[in-house]
Amino acid sequence: MRMSQLFLRTLRDAPTDADVDSLRLLSRAGYVRKVAAGFYSWLPLGSRVLRNVERIVREEMDAAGAQEVLLPIAQPLELWQQSGREQLYGPLMFRISDRKDAGYCLAPTAEELITATVRGEYSSYRDLPVNLYQIQWKYRDELRPRFGLLRSREFLMKDAYSFDTDAANLRKSYQLMYDAYHKVFERCALNFRPVRAQSGDIGGDVNHEFMAVANIGEDDFVWCKSCDYAANVEAAVRRSPEPVAPGSQPMSKIATPDKPGINAVAEHLGCAASELLKCLAFETEAGAIGLALVPGDREVNEYALKVALGGVAYEFLDDAAFARFPRLPKGYIGAHNQHIEIAVADPSVLARTSWVTGANEVDHHVTDAVVGRDFQPTVVAPIVVVASGDVCPECDGELSVDRGIEVGHVFQIGTKYSESLGATFTDENGEAHPMVMGCYGIGISRVVAAIVEEHHDEAGICWPAEISPYAVHLIALTGKGATSEEVRQAAVAIYDGLNSAGVSVVYDDRDVSPGVKFADADLLGVPVQLVVGAKGLARGVVERKLRKTGSRDELAIDAVLGQYIGEGAKSRG
RNA sequence: CGGGGUGUGGCGCAGUGGUAGCGCACCGGCUUUGGGAGCCGGGGGCCGGGGGUUCAAGUCCCCCCACCCCGACCA
């Protein structure tokens, strides 16, 4: 492609509402343009990049035995009512209606439709397993779209769905996808980790998120520096500290006027927040009042607390609820409160001889509260949010908490959708069973943004070879001198040669100054830049610069084609 | 949903009640040509929309819309 023909305008200043590196650079370099909150146009360069990620995903899905389909974006709401997810998604779904006032949604995902599709075709154990996938635009009317392409309202997603006869076979299908995801993200040159995760709204049990490590990510995940333990921050656990012998000092009450917070009290007493016992009051759905007890410098993992309660739903008290329980003075609650029915303590609560905690009386705290003497946990279970520096539960190594971008997610769903939508098969004995499903997503457009987040510098994007819109960025420094035409002809010869060798090349033939060409080349981020200039030409060489490292060398002009023949297959751009 | 902020040319921004500006980009001319060149000359605006106040509104008031940021229970 000649740059004089390419539909492209680069920007020196990024639009002000581009708030992350990926969107700033993709906007400046003319890959995408914002149309509305959470909606983006993909211009020629962006479209090529998107296709490249698609291509990688398609190749790996096909290699893993999945078959591509294409389902409609607009889906009858009725289908979503059958699965019960119409309510669940609520305003997150874009809704439309036709002229007859029938309700449709723009699909936020496709479990329902794919299940209905398989139900309509397959009904025997002989048909299974089967794995279908599509690469299709998805729509979610996010509460707050942000981070540009990382959380948009329209996004391109690969979603695959496996159907098996039983859980053991599901695990095989799951493993195939899990392995395929590794290949996909390796080819995308992402620094990623598969982490154990909670299942969220889709339902089901075993699942992993594939997190691309980034500063800007929306999710924290925990990983061990010594082994391969990794988990979503909600699912992560640590090795709890060992219990210690209780203290013997008697508990005593002290005045802490107008000090309702951990930090305020710690500062007032001149002690560390970790010496205070944090007591969070909650009410279960059955109406029982409980406290979650953790060290003052720790936060409660709400998911872990629910597990500790045996799966019982609960809510932390809000101001209105506190008003109903005058015996629970917000900010001054102590673990020795007589009015609570449940006390869930993290094991670390047993690892300190005594605690400073609320006195259950406004403007007062107590010191030397001793577990087992002054207060009794009814449940001891790990409920703190894991933090960097905690001990790995599997190998005693050190855990680290980092930000990540969720680029993929694999689930073992089970029979939730096959049951509600009636996707059953008949087994060898003629008995009907619901199919056992897995579902597997990759955010294609999000992957593009994640790659830019990881592969860029001050000057612009540095694409991995397989993702780059072109394999080679050819720059002709023609100028207006005597050698101008000579340089132009040499560049065109290389351009034509590379093209006919199947190497995708973008050729900067514009009549602009060298500085503009260099700056744009760095901004666009094609991995290899070839510069044809009068100086080199006189010596029969062209200069080659690698975008990522900035390293330069010279190639004999006759050797250029030889160098890049074969590159076409690696990066067809 | 709550709070805050911003809407002026494609992008970035200035603008004090009195003729709508600057930089980049764009068009034409001349010069320049190895890291976002210089000079000269141009084109491009329903100042987010609607109502009001005023002799006069980009500017003041009211309503609406869009976009951005923060928050949405950790005592």
List, for residues A80-112, the tens digit of each pLDDT value.
999 999 988 888 999 998 889 889 999 999 999
A 354-393, residues with C-beta < 7 Å of strand B: 358, 385
Residues 6+ apart with CB under 8 A from A138: A73, A107, A108, A109, A154, A155, A156, A157, A159
Mean pLDDT of the region A359-386: 92
Residue A505: predicted pLDDT: 97
Q: Would you say how long chain A is, in residues?
A: 573
- As a rounded value in angstroms, the CA-to-C1' distance for A525 and B11 is 21
Mean residue pLDDT across chain A: 91
Cα A346 from Cα A79, distance rounded (Å): 43
pLDDT at A464 over 60: yes
Q: Is the CB of A279 under 7 A from strand B?
A: yes
CB-strand contact A145/B, under 7 Å:
yes
**CATH no., domain A23-67+110-236+401-452:** 3.30.930.10
Contact flag, residue A14 CB and nucleic strand B, below 7 A: yes
CA distances from A304 to A132, A291, A299, A446, A488 (A): 34, 14, 11, 29, 67
Tokens of A462: 């540095």
The model's confidence at residue A569, banded by pLDDT at 50, 70 and 90, is very low
**Nucleic acid strand B within 7 Å of A218 CB:** no
Distances A477 to A77, A87, A173, A268, A552 between C-alpha atoms, Å: 59, 61, 54, 69, 16
Task: Provide the positions of strand B that have an atom within 7 A of a protein CB.
Answer: 1, 10-13, 23-25, 32-37, 66-75
Confidence class for position A474, pLDDT limits 50, 70, 90: very high
Whether residue A182 is predicted with pLDDT greater than 90 in this model: the reply is yes
**pLDDT for the residue numbered A422:** 95
The band of A458, judged by pLDDT with boundaries at 50, 70 and 90, is: very high
| H-type alpha helices, A311-443 | 319-324, 416-420
pLDDT at A566: 60
Q: Report d(CA A362, CA A381) in Å as an integer.
A: 29
Residues A127, A144: Cα–Cα separation, whole Å: 43
pLDDT for residue A233: 84
Pick out the nucleotide with least CA–C1' distance to A265: B75
**Structure confidence at residue A215 (pLDDT):** 83
**pLDDT given for residue A509 in this prediction:** 95
Structure tokens given for A506? 């973008």
- Evaluate if residue A571 carries a pLDDT over 70: no
Average pLDDT over residues A301-305: 86
In the structure encoding, which two tokens stand for residue A340, read together?
């609570």
Secondary structure E strands in A415-516: 424-426, 432-434, 436-443, 456-457, 460-461, 472-477, 505-508
- Predicted pLDDT of residue A567: 59
> In the structure encoding, which two tokens stand for residue A54, read together?
């698609």
The top-level CATH class assigned to A461-570 is alpha beta
Q: Evaluate if the CB of A4 falls below 7 Å from strand B.
A: no
Q: Would you say residue A145 has pLDDT above 90?
A: no
Tell me the per-residue pLDDT of A44-85, one tens digit each, with 9 for 90 and over: 999 999 999 999 999 999 999 999 999 999 999 999 999 999
pLDDT for the residue A483: 87
Beta strands in A370-484 (DSSP E): 379-380, 399-414, 424-426, 432-434, 436-443, 456-457, 460-461, 472-477
DSSP string, A92-116: GSEEEE-TT--EEEE-S--HHHHHH
Find the nucleotide nearest A328 (Cα to C1′).
B75
Among candidates A33, A34, A37, which has minimal Cα distance to A140? A37
Q: Where does the pLDDT of residue A203 fall: very low under 50, low under 70, confident under 90, or very high at 90 and above?
A: very low
Does nucleic acid strand B have an atom less than 7 angstroms from the CB of A520?
Answer: yes
The ipTM (two decimal places) reads 0.93
Q: Which residue spans within A269-309 are E strands per DSSP?
A: 277-284, 289-295
Instruction: State residue A201's pLDDT score.
Output: 44
Helix (H) or strand (E) holding A308: helix A302-308
Is residue A319 predicted with pLDDT exceeding 80?
A: no
**What are the tokens at A158?**
């690969």
Nearest nucleotide (C1') to alpha carbon of A278: B75
What is the C-alpha to C-alpha distance for residues A391 and A210, in angstroms, rounded to an integer?
A: 22
pLDDT of residue A532: 96
Instruction: Average the pLDDT over A461-475 and give the result.
Output: 97
Nucleotide nearest to A12 (CA to C1'): B24
Contact indicator for A406, A233 with CB cutoff of 8 Å: no
Domain ranges of chain A: 23-67+110-236+401-452, 252-380, 461-570
Mean pLDDT of A502-530: 96
Nearest nucleotide to A479 (CA to C1') is: B33
Q: Is the pLDDT of residue A156 over 80?
A: yes
pLDDT at A61: 98
Can you tell me the distance from the alpha carbon of A121 to that of A127, in angstroms, rounded to the nearest whole number?
9
Which one is predicted more confidently, A298 or A311?
A298
Architecture of domain A252-380: Alpha-Beta Complex (3.90)
Nucleotide nearest to A321 (CA to C1'): B73
Nucleotide with smallest C1' distance to residue A541 CA = B34
Strand B lies under 7 A from the Cβ of residue A146 = yes
Whether pLDDT at A315 is above 90: no
Q: Quick one: average pLDDT of A206-228? A: 88
Structure confidence at residue A330 (pLDDT)? 84
For chain A, percent of residues with pLDDT exceeding 90: 71
Confidence of residue A200 (pLDDT cuts 50, 70, 90): very low
Distance from CA(A53) to C1'(B53), angstroms, rounded: 58
List the structure tokens of A195: 């982490």
Q: Are A33 and A531 in contact (CB under 8 A)?
A: no
